[in-house]
């Protein structure tokens, strides 16, 4: 089994927070992650990442040191700082992570369970239906447009570089049109992020045709 990327420190039916195994070791925004429990695995999409002092009453101060100097003079830094991330729940499955269902689980993940990155098959199963887009689009207190674009791009990537990926992106675009029918500016904001990322990866690709 691959090394875990974090440990659950709080959870409810819709989201969970995990403390990273390593300082600055959080998965990227929009990544799909899995918490394996005794009875079921719970899947989420990373929607927020933060690094701060372990003691909430202690404010971090500037040290005016280079990264090399910091590593040499303050090797205990990982004991006073921590990186945490919040993931929105987008599905669950059996304890082995199979039979993935893109719905909220009967119960939230257990505290102190380890968090792992999802594999390609899990990402594909979670994104086979557009329900994950609805969960992300309706979330509060997160950068919705950025998280949506990043999650769509990751889900497209596991489908390869060909027709399956293109068809998935077009279908997501059509779903987002409906979700943001009263907020067209937000829809355009999501699509601009997706198109910019695709142009950066392959400048020759044409824009998506959603008609």
What digits encode the pLDDT tens for the residues 163-199? 999 999 999 999 999 999 999 999 999 999 999 998 8
Q: State the pLDDT at residue 155.
A: 97
Q: What percent of the chain has pLDDT over 90?
A: 76
* pTM score: 0.91
Residue 9 Cα distances to 6, 20, 113, 136, angstroms? 9, 10, 8, 21
Dihedral angle at the C-alpha atoms of 22, 94, 165, 16, nearest 10 degrees?
-40
Residue 40 in tokens? 């079921």
Q: State the pLDDT at residue 209.
A: 60
| d(C-alpha 85, C-alpha 19), whole Å | 7
Task: Say whether pLDDT at 211 is over 90.
Answer: no
Strands 32-36 and 114-117, sheet pairing: antiparallel
CB burial readout 15-54, b (16+ within 10 A) else e: bbbbbbeeeeebbebbbbbbbbbeebbbbbbbbbbeeeee
Q: State the pLDDT at residue 204.
A: 47
Count how many Cα atoms sit within 13 Å of the Cα of residue 100 in the half-sphere of its side chain. 27
Residues 63-107: tens digit of each pLDDT: 899 989 998 998 888 889 999 999 999 999 986 656 899 999 999
Residue among 144, 139, 151 nearest 189 (CA) = 144
Backbone angles phi, psi at 173, to 5 degrees: -60, -45
Q: State the pLDDT at residue 185.
A: 97
């Amino acid at each position: 089994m691959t090394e875990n990327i974090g440990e659950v420190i709080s959870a409810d039916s819709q989201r969970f927070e995990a403390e990273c195994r390593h300082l600055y070791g959080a998965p990227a925004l929009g990544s799909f992650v899995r918490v394996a429990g005794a009875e079921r695995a719970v899947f989420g999409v990373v929607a927020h990442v933060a690094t701060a002092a372990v003691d909430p009453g202690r404010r971090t101060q500037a040290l005016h040191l280079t990264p090399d100097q910091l590593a040499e003079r303050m090797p205990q830094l990982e004991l006073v700082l921590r990186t945490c991330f919040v993931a929105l729940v987008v599905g669950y499955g059996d304890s082995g992570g199979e039979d993935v269902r893109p719905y909220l689980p009967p119960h939230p993940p257990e505290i102190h369970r380890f968090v792992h990155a999802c594999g390609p098959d899990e990402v594909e199963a979670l994104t086979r239906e557009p329900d994950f887009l609805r969960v992300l689009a309706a979330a509060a207190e997160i950068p919705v447009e950025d998280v949506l674009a990043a999650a769509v791009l990751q889900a497209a990537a596991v489908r390869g570089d060909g027709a399956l990926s293109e068809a998935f992106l077009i279908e997501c675009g059509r779903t987002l049109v409906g979700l943001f029918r009263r907020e067209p500016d937000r829809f355009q904001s999501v699509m601009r992020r997706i198109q910019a990322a695709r142009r950066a990866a392959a400048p020759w690709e044409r824009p998506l045709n959603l008609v």
